Amino acid sequence: MENWFQTSPLQPGCPWYELHTQFPPNVDWCEEKVCSLILTPNNAWTNLAYILIGWMMLRRTRNQSNEVLKFFGKAAILVGSFSFLYHISLNAFTQIFDFLGMYLFCFILIRSNLSRSGNWPEGRAGKIRFWQSVIGLTLATIGLMLVHFPIQSIIGVLLGVIVFTEFRQKTASRKNFWISIAFITTAAVFSVLDVKRILCWPENHWFQAHGIWHITSAISLWFAFRHAEEAARK
């Protein structure tokens, strides 16, 4: 697979070298790869933001009966865990898990939106449709990677679906929704600045624009959850 942008190559003998060189991901972020178990430290450790947000969601929903809301926290923790695994190893296999995590959260938002208007089945049928959607799109992503399709655009499409399905529902307030949109937009800007090498200091393992994507998008997930929580009470 071809990288869109190439930083300094990983040296032979380093952890993950064989997987990274034989099965590289389709994008090369700015942070310089270091010869250690964690190839890109900043891009890896900033994923703790998702895990923290997920833990906060789990605490808020521990007495909830709404299964969809209760899954938000688990989904956020999986987003962070899979993205952490990807950024420590940087290969196509762990990149698939990175996308799986993002699909989990995107589809839980879509399910939450459609459930409000009765357009998503309840109970077991709803769970089956959710997992069919997540697993089906993950398998499709593998195929798209093989033909060098820019799979990052899939997340953009899913965000569009989330916004579309949100505005198909009536709600008393969209304050938290708009805050969530503001944070995910900010996150996307930082991610683009990183991959385009506009905001890029490869040797700085304390600040990376893609790391800011992780932190601000995690905050976006929190406000998306709060909006879903408020909408479910109506």
For the stretch 195-205, pLDDT in tens is: 999 999 999 99
Distance, CA of 96 to CA of 172 (rounded, Å): 37
Distance, CA of 149 to CA of 140 (rounded, Å): 11
5, 53, 72 from 8: Cα distances, Å: 10, 33, 37
Q: Among 118, 188, 200, 113, which Cα is nearest to 153's?
A: 188
Q: Among 159, 169, 189, 179, which Cα is nearest to 224's?
A: 179
For the whole model, what pTM was predicted?
0.92
Distance, CA of 36 to CA of 28 (rounded, Å): 17
Length of the chain: 234
Residue holding tokens 């408020």?
230
**pLDDT above 70: residue 7:** no
Higher pLDDT, 234 or 122: 122
Fold of the domain built from segment(s) 38-233: Rhopdopsin 7-helix transmembrane proteins (1.20.1070)
